[in-house]
Structure 1
Amino acid sequence: QLSIDAINRIMQTRDGMGESGESYLVGDDLLMRSDSYLDPTGHSVIASFAGNVEQNGVNTVAVKKGLQGISDTEIIIDYNGNPVLSAYLPFTFSNLKWVLLAEIDESEAFAPVYKMYWAIGLIVIITLIGVAAITIMIAKSIIRPLGGEPSTMHS
Structure 2
Amino acid sequence: MNQVGVIMGSDSDYKVMEDALKILRQFELDFEVKISSAHRTLARTLDWVKAFENQGGKLIIAGAGLAAHLPGVIAGATILPVIGVPLSSGPLNGIDALYAIVQMPPGIPVATVGVGSARNAALLAVQILALQDQKLSLKVKDYRAQMAGDIAAKDEALQKKLSE
Please indicate, yes or no, whether the TM-score normalized by the shorter chain is above 0.5. no
Q: Relative CO higher for 1 or 2, CA cutoff 8 Å, sep ≥ 6?
A: 2
> What TM-score results when the alignment is normalised by the length of structure 1?
0.30
CA radius of gyration, larger in: 1
> What TM-score results when the alignment is normalised by the length of structure 2?
0.29
